[in-house]
Amino acid sequence: MAEKEKKEKPKIPRQKMPEQEPRVRAKNFNEVPFGYTPELAQLEASRCIQCKKPKCIEGCPVEIDIPAFIKLILDGDFVGSARKLKERNSLPAICGRVCPQEDQCEKVCIVGKKEEPVAVGRLERFAADWEREKGEVFIPEKAPATGKRVAVVGSGPAGLTVAGDLILKGHEVIIFEALHKTGGVLIYGIPEFRLPKDIVQAEVNYLEQLGVKVECNCVIGRIETVDELLKEYDAIFLGLGAGLPQFLNVPGENFCGIYSANEYLTRSNLMKAYLFPQYDTPIARGRNVAVFGAGNVAMDSARTALRLGADTVRIIYRRSRDEMPARIEEIHHAEEEGVQFYLLTAPIKFLGDDNGWVTGVECLRMELGEPDESGRRRPVPIKGSEFQLECDMAVVAIGAGPNPLLPTTTPGLELNKRGYIVGDLETGKTSKTGVWAGGDIVTGSATVILAMGAGRKAANSIHDYLMSK
C-alpha cells in the first residue's frame, strides 16, 4: 500500500526558492536566493518518492545517499539530514549552491520523468545551512593517529576534500595555499552573490577544528619545491586548479580596462574591490561592458559588472545559445538582471584611445557550420560582416589553462601536451612516487563537485599507500 501511495504522491509542484527581485539584486552583492524555509523544504522533500532503486545516487559524483537525506528533512530532523550529507560530501552548503544538479542527480530523478525533478540541490543547501546557522556543526571522531604526514597543495574544493578525508583517517595534514586566503576558486572566482564567502570560511574553520593546519602565502614551486616537501611529508596532493587565464589573442588586448575573468573576479571577490575605497584594491567600473565567453565564469563577470554600476553589459559569444556552457540557471539569472546576449559574434580586435584605454571592439558575425571535434557545430565567420561595438571595459572569460609554475619546477611529474598533470582518474596517482593530483589541474576546468570527487578518490588512494608503507 505504501508503495502505491508513494508512486501517486507528487502532485505538489517543484518549490522555488524565494529570491531577491532582479532589479534590486543587480545593484547589490548579497546572495540572490534566500534559501528554503523549513516549511518549503519539507514540502519539497515530500515530492521525493523514496525510490527502491534510486537513480539520483548514481548521478552524484560523490554518491550522496540522496533519498535518505531528503527523508530526514521530511521527518523534521534537519541536523540529521546535514550529517547524512556529510557522510559523503564534506562541503554540502557549497555544492547545494554551485553543483550543476540539472546534469547530475536531478537529471536522472524518477520524478523528473513525468514532472519536474525533486530539487535535490536546494534541499542539500537547506540542510547544510540549517546545521551551520544553528551552530550544530558536528566534529566527528578521528581515527587514532598514524604518524603519517600529508601535504596538500591548494585549498580549493579538491584540496579541502583531501584534507578533510585524511585528517579523519588519523593522518597529520597541512594545506599550503598560494594566496592569502583559503578556498581557491570558491574565494577568488565565485562571487559573493552566488556563494557567500562566510560559508567557505566556515568549511575551512571546520577543517581547522579537526586539526588540519593551514599555511597561506606559500607558493609551492617557489618557497618550497615538491621534492623538498617530499623529504618532510609522506604524501603530497596537488590540487592546483586551472590558474592560467586564456586570452583572445587579438590586437589591442592589452589596452587598459581589458581584464581576464580571473583578474576581474579576483579583484572583486578576493580583494573586495567592490567595496573600494574601504578596501584598497581598485577595479574599473565600466558603464558599457563587453564580456567574451558564455560559461559560468562569463555570467559571473557580467553580473559583477552590473553590480559595479554598468548601464550595459553584453555577453559576446561566437556560437549560439544552445552551445553556451553556463548552467541554465546562471544564464536565466543574468538575463533577468539585464545582461544582453550577442550570440554568433566573435571579436577580431580591440579599439583604444590615446591613454591606452579600451573604447570598443570590432566583431564579426558567425554562422554555424559542421560539428567540430567537441561535437558542437563550428562557428564560421560571415564575410564582410564586421561591425563595431563600443565598450569602456571588457572581460575575457573564455576559459583557463594549467598554471605552469609548480609543474615546471617538479622534475619527474608527467604532463599531457596541454600542460595538465597526468593523474590516474581512479586514484589520482601521478607519475611521481608519493604525489597525487586531482581537480582542474588534471581534468581542465570542470565543476566543484568533480574536483571534490577526484579529491575523495585521491584521499582513499593516499590512505592505502600510507598504511601499506
Partner 1 sequence: MYKITYKREMAENTVCHFKVDAPRIARKAKPGQFVVLKANETGERIPLTMGGTDPSDGTIDLIFQVVGKSTALLRTLNVGDAIQDIIGPLGKPTHVENLGTVVCVGGGTGVAVMYPITKAYKEAGNHVIAIIGARTKDLLILEDEMKAASHDLRVTTDDGSYGHHGFVTDVLKKILDDQKEVKLIVGIGPVPMMKFLCKLTKGYGVKTMVSLNPIMVDATGMCGACRVTVGGKTMFCCVDGPEFDGHEVDYDELVKRQRAYLTEEKASMDRFKEIGR
Q: Which residues bind partner 1 (CB under 8 A)?
A: 178-180, 188, 216-217, 219, 222-224, 243-245, 247, 253-254, 256-257, 259-260, 262-263, 266-267, 271-272, 276-282, 284, 355-357, 403-405
Measured between alpha carbons, how far is 304 from 301 in angstroms, rounded to an integer?
A: 5
Three cell numbers, residue 267: 579583484
Provide, rounded to whole angstroms, the least separation between the CB of residue 305 and partner 1.
16
Nearer to partner 1, 281 or 460 (CB): 281
**Is the CB of residue 466 less than 8 Å from the CB of residue 113?**
no
**Is the CB of residue 254 less than 8 Å from the CB of residue 278?**
no
Contacts (Cβ under 8 Å, ≥6 apart) of 2:
none
Provide, rounded to whole angstroms, the least separation between the CB of residue 226 and partner 1.
14
DSSP code, position 108: S
Provide, rounded to whole angstroms, the least separation between the CB of residue 72 and partner 1.
39
Nearer to partner 1, 169 or 267 (CB): 267
Q: Cell 581542465 appears where? A: 444
Three cell numbers, residue 144: 587514532
Nearer to partner 1, 244 or 446 (CB): 244
Provide, rounded to whole angstroms, the least separation between the CB of residue 30 and partner 1.
20
Measured between alpha carbons, how far is 190 from 268 in angstroms, rounded to an integer?
A: 10
Instruction: Quote the strand ranges of 273-386, DSSP E.
Output: 288-292, 312-316, 340-342, 345-352, 358-371, 377-381
Provide, rounded to whole angstroms, the least separation between the CB of residue 352 and partner 1.
9
Provide, rounded to whole angstroms, the least separation between the CB of residue 405 and partner 1.
6
Three cell numbers, residue 172: 597529520
Provide, rounded to whole angstroms, the least separation between the CB of residue 355 and partner 1.
6
Nearer to partner 1, 256 or 422 (CB): 256
Pairing state between β 400-401 and 435-437: unpaired
Provide, rounded to whole angstroms, the least separation between the CB of residue 225 and partner 1.
10
Instruction: Quote the strand ranges of 261-357, DSSP E.
Output: 288-292, 312-316, 340-342, 345-352
Instruction: Give all strands of the β-sheet with 258-260 in edge-to-edge order.
Output: 258-260, 393-396, 288-292, 312-316, 340-342
Nearer to partner 1, 68 or 405 (CB): 405
Measured between alpha carbons, how far is 362 from 386 in angstroms, rounded to an integer?
A: 7
Nearer to partner 1, 280 or 372 (CB): 280
How many other C-beta atoms are found inside a 10 Å radius of the C-beta of residue 283? 22
Nearer to partner 1, 107 or 285 (CB): 285
Contacts (Cβ under 8 Å, ≥6 apart) of 213:
172, 173, 174, 175
Nearer to partner 1, 13 or 282 (CB): 282
Nearer to partner 1, 359 or 427 (CB): 359
Provide, rounded to whole angstroms, the least separation between the CB of residue 202 and partner 1.
18
